Amino acid sequence: MSEGKDQMTQKAELSQEEILRYSRHLLIPEVGLEGQRKLKAASVLLVGSGGLGSPIALYLAAAGVGRIGIVDYDVVDPSNLQRQIIHDTHQVGVLKVESARNRLLALNPFVHVDVYNEVFTSQNAERIAADYDILVDGSDNFPTRYLLNDLAVLSGKPFVYGSIFRFEGQVSVFDARQGPCYRCLFPEPPPPNTVPSCADAGVFGVLPGTIGSLQATEVIKLILGIGEPLIGKLLLYDALEMSMQVIHLRKNPRCKVCGESPEITHLIDYEAFCGVPARAGQENGLEDDRVIDPVALKRRLEVGDEVVLIDVRDPVEQQVSALPGALVIPLERLPQRIKELDPQREYVLFCRTGVRSARGVRQLAAAGFPKVKNLRGGLNAWAEQVDPTMLKY
């Protein structure tokens, strides 16, 4: 800990109310009064206040971390409440950062909460993160994750990583000063629109609680300087098997950001790094002639146009809603079943929101299908614009 940080810790005196609040910490030799002062003097930036961000923020505030910054740009949606426990039904429609701040201050009025209602990008990341000691990943996307990692390396700060998918999660602490960074493990992000998000693939509601709590644990250990942080280690968790395993990681001397001859010396955004900048007029990377609106599709079906519908969702989603007459070909099975389709026919692919079906459209187009389109907005848009009796999910 630096001399300046020592002075801050000395100034982080605890009131009688705080002594009572944190009394169970004060009984632990590894924490004690000095450790609680360290927590009060610490500052943590959390990017994301959703599934992972919820338990992370709640436990950091409850533990008495003195300054917590939260970056998010979304509003609370009913579909969030299955796992994003920092928000509640009364906060639907409210900015997530405001909902989170209100909840944290209600939990612990002795902490300071900064909120940043903005997209975390290469243009604002350094400004936002400048005054925080530790960076924490509560996001659900690769652009933010790679940006956080690069920022951590370039600013010499630890980066507490977590990710989730359906029933599985990962946790690590990346600190290039002592071990590998995220790019040492995953040098380049996957191409845009190739990896499903939680919104597309689903997530077991309690999973982010487990992974987020582990991330909060690592943050608190770093602040206190106790135990063995997951630096150079990747923890893998499987909720179905209730198993954990730890994989040991090595620093990559050829890493583009923390290696011996780094190529990345300033922050860049994910799209620029991949060489696929977003263009106006595109939806999920598709040109306009590859997309059809629900109302336009309805009209074509009503006049008898020979349009074949293909539902690329997982079979379990058929239990919620379906379009009569559609072929059901789950996206992961599409490459094997392309031979069943006629390249001369016209196809419209759809899923829940249009993200997965856009990937299917690209696959068919690349395989020589000239007349294939994506249903803009998927079945949820169909329910909103065409059939209000259809269930949205």
pLDDT band at 29; cut points 50, 70, 90:
very high
Q: Whole-number mean pLDDT of the chain?
A: 93
pLDDT band at 9; cut points 50, 70, 90:
low
pLDDT band at 150; cut points 50, 70, 90:
very high
Active site residue 184: no
List all residues 6 or more positions away from 81 whose beta carbon is below 8 Å from its beta carbon.
87, 88, 89, 92
* 310, β-bridge pairs: 327, 349
Q: Using only C-alpha atoms, what is the Rg of the chain?
A: 24
In percent, the amount of the chain with pLDDT more than 90 equals 87
Contact yes or no for 111/154 (Cβ under 8 A) = no
List all residues 6 or more positions away from 282 whose beta carbon is below 8 Å from its beta carbon.
288
Burial status of residue 350 (CB atoms within 10 A of its CB: 0-12, 13-18, 19 or more)? buried
Q: Is the pLDDT of residue 282 over 50?
A: no
Give the H/E segment covering residue 163.
Answer: strand 159-165
pLDDT band at 10; cut points 50, 70, 90:
low
pTM for the full predicted model: 0.83
Q: Which tens digits make up the pLDDT trace of 305-333?
A: 999 999 999 999 999 999 999 999 999 99
| 392 secondary structure, DSSP code | P
Written as six digits, the tokens of 366 are 């690349």
Q: Is the pLDDT of residue 281 over 60?
A: no
Q: Which tens digits make up the pLDDT trace of 129-148?
A: 999 999 999 998 999 999 99
pLDDT band at 192; cut points 50, 70, 90:
low
Among 184, 255, 258, 351, which one carries the catalytic annotation? 351
- Read off φ and ψ for residue 145, nearest 5 degrees: -65, -45
Q: Is the pLDDT of residue 242 over 60?
A: yes
Q: Is the pLDDT of residue 274 over 50?
A: no
- In 3D space, the residue among 335, 367, 330, 368 whose CA is nearest the CA of residue 349 turns out to be 330
Written as six digits, the tokens of 350 are 């759809």
Burial status of residue 240 (CB atoms within 10 A of its CB: 0-12, 13-18, 19 or more)? exposed
Active site residue 255: no
pLDDT at position 1 is 47
pLDDT band at 284; cut points 50, 70, 90:
low
Instruction: Tell me the C-alpha distance between 328 and 313, whole Å.
Output: 8
Written as six digits, the tokens of 120 are 């975390």
Among 198, 255, 258, 274, which one carries the catalytic annotation? 198
Q: Is the pLDDT higher at 276 or at 210?
A: 210
Neighbours of 286 (CB within 10 A): 21
pLDDT band at 12; cut points 50, 70, 90:
confident
Q: Is the pLDDT of residue 276 over 80?
A: no
Lowest-confidence pick of 53-62, 187-196, 365-374:
187-196
In percent, the amount of the chain with pLDDT more than 70 equals 92
Length of the chain: 393
Q: Is the pLDDT higher at 214 or at 202?
A: 214
pLDDT band at 123; cut points 50, 70, 90:
very high
